[in-house]
Structure 1
């Protein structure tokens, strides 16, 4: 059964599109990261490895981005970059380096100034490109996401209001990220608690027995 479904999927991937181009199979970046971190590099911090190329590749794969080419989002945002091979190679290095720096210390905000100071001459000569790279990665949450210490608060000229419905894990993270971007956020939750599917019940009986149990979802599917 599995071999038949696999062959059908492979045949579908090879089926020509209407334009004559062949369909590309999806790249499993989670599997790449898993293979690199478990099989080959168990026991040390790959982001601080001496081999820069290795750590840059890992940073890109860990961010679900191709190491040696621009993603579809990047092609739209950096259409001017792909006109020159030298410019494209410079962009890819600056992007992967920014991702590497972020993953080396994701507990603290990676500001543009901190990123710029890590890029050595002559690769730091195009300040406009440096700023665009940092802004793109931050805007699309490749850096400065999750729970981290904010060192520089954003002060937009117009502070817009956003309502987030649901104080589950996704709602809490969305509200936190929007607040980091400078929005005035209101979080609405219908139940008298936050957490959504994450719910822990704690008990302490008269005999002094303490314990807890998770009442929420046992399995949360997502990217590994």
Structure 2
């Protein structure tokens, strides 16, 4: 049977097996997150019936490769990042273990999932990583009133809403300054769309594929025009 409690050494081995090794201190933090996720999952079904290795191989894998993809984008030194529909913190919390630039907000309207993420972050002490427990359309307004900039540099989404609808939804939320326009990242199971299907006001940027769960997944990035 799979291990019921993760530890750093097991996480190190699991990451190497997936082809994206992590550092020992990162493995420690990932093990803490996974331990909390599996414990809470038994009470509130955050990710469906699962053990930590299955969660790692099927869900955390996205974060491992996403960290390298985001690091390769042309973002400001301290970007404001929003993660819409953050759920139980996937991909956002493991991503922040590996990539810690700027301010990162996990936006989640469902109270129980937001409560779990706050509890997990309380243990992990990740820098500049917070939970916004509310609707995505309210996030920037409330953040700007508390001292943050009024537009985001990066918005991420996995299955928050269909991608074309999402781009329309977030276009007003992203920074639009010469040489510093905002970007969106879509996590997808399919190759990127052709340029003709990209909504007005956007252009397709960097894309990448990576192995996951016996298949191939993709990151698509879009830049505001």
**TM-score, normalization by structure 2:** 0.31
Of structures 1 and 2, the one scoring higher in RCO (CA 8 A, sep 6+) is 2
Report the structure number with the largest CA radius of gyration.
1
* Larger strand fraction of residues: 2
